[in-house]
Amino acid sequence: MAQASTGRRCIRFAVFEVDLESGELRKHGVRIKLQQKPFQILALLLERPGELVTREELQRQLWPSDVFVDFESGLNNGVKKLRAALDDSAETPRFVETVARHGYRFLATPQYTNNIPTVTPAVPQERHGGPRIFRIWMAAALVVVTALMGSIWVARRRAPHLASSASQIHRIAVLPLENLSRDEQQEYFADGMTDAIIDQLARVQGLTVISRTSTMQYKKARKPLRQIARELSADTVVEGTVLRSGNRVRVSAQLIDAATDQHLLSRTFEKDLEDVFELQHDVAWALAQQIMSSLTAKDTGRLSHTVPVDPGAYQAFMLGRFHWFKRTPDGYWKSIDYFHQAIAREPNYALAYMGLADSYFSLQNAEIVPPLRFKAQERSAILKALALDDSLAEAPRAGDGRLGFCRR
């Protein structure tokens, strides 16, 4: 005899299976890794195959109104990841069709199975004792002893690895934050927030942060996150969005394990523009706490070092960084103007002085001006920056041996 056990509710379409109870997607019986939100989108579309599921319905069911999230970005990213898992295309969809400005429609015809029987062989009943039962007991005992010895061996083999992995350096890549303001003039602000989070995380001992130069090439790139992580040799990746509306700034950040594609952290932070440094600290602190098993007192001090700044000065500083990173003669000269504007509004703005020093250095190093033309100004700006914030002296160094954000 064989006993049938009640299985899970399953939906099949084409070569795919959706297990609604376990939240799993399979292709030809092999599980495909799919994050929670894309799976929930798929489940809602499967409830009404062939019908339009509006963006408003998706927002109401998956993004509750009492929790702030960047719905537009979240939905678009969720659908994109769902299509990638289904080998689908927005241009020539087989499964998920976009109805412009309205929502989505599931095109395939699903098959629903409420009970999937799984067969479990019945245990044969012995009518008599004797040698056969003895052999069964001996075989069972041998299995138990073998499993126990195997567990001990594995534990001994893993012990040194676990000890070393706790102290190993984690490599994290902060991908360029997406600008949600729909204003290209605000692109500098999103880039500046990305740079600031990189700078904050670089202060944590034992954490290796991938350079800004390396990560910025993935701005608006349409590559799978796992591929990006592999190309950057990163084991964790930060992606997110930034929205500036008037005097308010909102940053949504997701920390993702590159090996498993699982979210380790997903949070939204919001503050007034004058508290933007505190906002950057909050984001970096949340990410660092999630990654590192323990943060030293020195790390805590570095991450807690925030100084209020005039919003106009901060905006000028961000524009200065934006133009400096263009690494062009015109960009360097514009960055000097913006850093001077920042200092004029905030005379004790240490980072603005450091930015000014970097701009002077870059003009000379790129031979745009004679080598010693701004040497005195460069040195004066560095000394002023360090006098205002000596923690800058402990920041990671540049490849050219200098301080400041040119280290990337």
The string of DSSP letters for 366-396 reads TTSS-TTTTHHHHHHHHHHHHHH-GGGGGSP
Average per-residue pLDDT for the chain? 76
Q: What is the mean pLDDT of residues 94-122?
A: 70
Q: Is the pLDDT of residue 86 over 80?
A: yes
How many C-beta atoms surround the C-beta of residue 260 within 10 A? 10
Which tokens is 389 given? 């914030």
For residues 267 and 68, what is the distance between their CA atoms, to the nearest angstrom?
Answer: 10
CA 19 to chain centre: 27
User: Considering Cα of 185, then 187, then 193, then 196, what sign does the dihedral take?
Assistant: negative
- Model confidence over 214-240: pLDDT tens digits? 888 888 888 888 899 889 888 899 998
317 phi and psi, to 5 degrees? -60, -45
Reported in sequence order, the residue ranges of 129-181 that DSSP labels E, i.e. its strands, are 170-174, 178-179
For residues 353 and 80, what is the distance between their CA atoms, to the nearest angstrom?
Answer: 42
Work out the pLDDT band at 306, boundaries 50, 70, 90: low
Burial of 160 (C-beta count, 10 Å sphere; 0-12/13-18/19+): exposed
* pLDDT score recorded for residue 25: 92
Domains of the chain and CATH, by start: 8-113 (1.10.10.10), 170-303 (3.40.50.10070), 311-407 (1.25.40.10)
- Model confidence over 108-120: pLDDT tens digits? 888 876 544 333 3
Q: Is the pLDDT of residue 249 over 90?
A: no
- Model confidence over 254-302: pLDDT tens digits? 999 888 888 888 889 888 877 777 787 788 878 877 776 545 555 555 5
Side-chain-facing half-sphere of 191: CA atoms under 13 Å: 23
Q: Is the pLDDT of residue 162 over 60?
A: no
